[in-house]
Amino acid sequence: MISRLVAFDTTSENSNLELIAFVRDYLASHGVESTLVPSEEGDKASLFATIGPKDAAGVALSGHTDCVPVTGQPWSTDPFAVVEKDGRLYGRGTCDMKGFVAIALAMVPAFLEKPLRTPIHLALSYDEETACTGVRPMIAELGERLPMPRACIVGEPTRMGVVDAHKTITDYVTVVTGHEAHSSLIDKGANAILAAGELLCELARMRDDMIAMGDPTGRFTPAYTTVHTGLISGGTAHNIVPLKCRFEWEVRSLPGFDPDTLKHRLQTFGEQHVLPKLRAIAPTTNIETTTTVDVIGLAPDPGSPAETLAMRLAGSNKTQTVSYATEAGLFQERGVPSIVCGPGDIAQAHQPDEYIEVTQVEACVGFMQRLAEAARAGI
């Protein structure tokens, strides 16, 4: 099943409909109905299916069907054909996170054999890798067209550890508009790149302040809210005072911290220290920051049905945290107790020659078998 799913090139820029059609046909062959929640454009879809009774709240197994690009990565094998070597399964998405989805699907016959008193829901989404967008319309239908689960397990790679908290990810784009001029007449121009440089220095100061603030819980690595910028572009020629400069920056914030406080801080700094100098040259200059991605964090919920169940199934007596984001916080916001627990190591995700260890697959199969027994007894 892992091989079948990896063979679909569901890089986020592509459609996932062929994979979803395969899953839907597979479930139908076992007598399991599924509901699709298509994207607005109709080129992608999420899938929700229930195994077991339809009149009870169940446990949702949530996973995304998209993967990140392989372009420019030095793969040793075909990234869309699973290769087993030295106890590892190589292929794009084996770890993040078609491995978990495939295991859940492969367990469907075992789930059906029990029979289940507590249903198990499959919640498969799209475009998690871009902005966690595909799962949102499906979550919005919980309690309406779709049943409301009593707990959700998101199968992102945690080496089968139980994660009860993760950071929020918020991405911003800042665009500086200056005023063009010949570089021999720089007094007539407002340099957008130099202005952006001043803003980037403020981001560096914000980063240092977040490091100094630290993590009061002592649970996260890195142990602070992180501030990062990864892309910058601007200008048209070396002898033209640049009109535009654009940079993208990211905040991965600890639970309870509002990342927009940093957005407002940058805006205030720009308005007070950068924009006046630009507008002294030209009134049309501007600094604008917009939010492009906002994936809320997962907050600890000690003793929740999701945490209690996952710890029992994983044979664990403690929880942990991660610094990447998942859809778990979105389920939690909707009122569904959620945790993250899945096979594989996040260090292998998005890498060339991505792999998942066979032992991790086996550990997840055991987890699913124990889930089946718990659902049979009535969780």
> Of the listed 9, 127, 128, 354, which one is catalytic?
128
DSSP state of 330: H
> Is residue 137 reached through a cis peptide bond, with omega within 30 degrees of 0 on the bond before it?
no
* Residue 128 annotated as catalytic: yes
Q: Are 31 and 123 in contact, with CB atoms under 8 Å apart?
A: no
Nearest residue to 22 via CA among 7, 41, 42, 37: 7
- CA dist 311 and 313 (Å) reads 5
**CA 69/CA 153 separation, integer angstroms:** 26
Q: Which residue from 74, 194, 191, 152 is spatially nearest to 330, judged by alpha carbons?
A: 152
Q: Identify the DSSP state of 230.
A: E
Q: What are phi and psi of 121, to 5 degrees?
A: -100, 140
Collect all residues with Cβ–Cβ distance below 8 Å to 44 and sequence separation of at least 6.
15, 16, 17, 38, 126, 127, 134
Altogether, the residues listed in the chain come to a count of: 379
Task: Please confirm, yes or no, whether 25 is among the known catalytic residues.
Answer: no
Q: What are the residue ranges of helices labelled H in 189-327?
A: 192-213, 260-269, 275-279, 305-314
Q: Yes or no: say if 321 and 162 are a contact pair by the CB < 8 Å rule.
A: no
Indicate which residue of 9, 66, 307, 354 is catalytic. Answer: 66
| Residue that has been written with the tokens 């062959």 in this structure | 29
Catalytic site residues?
66, 128
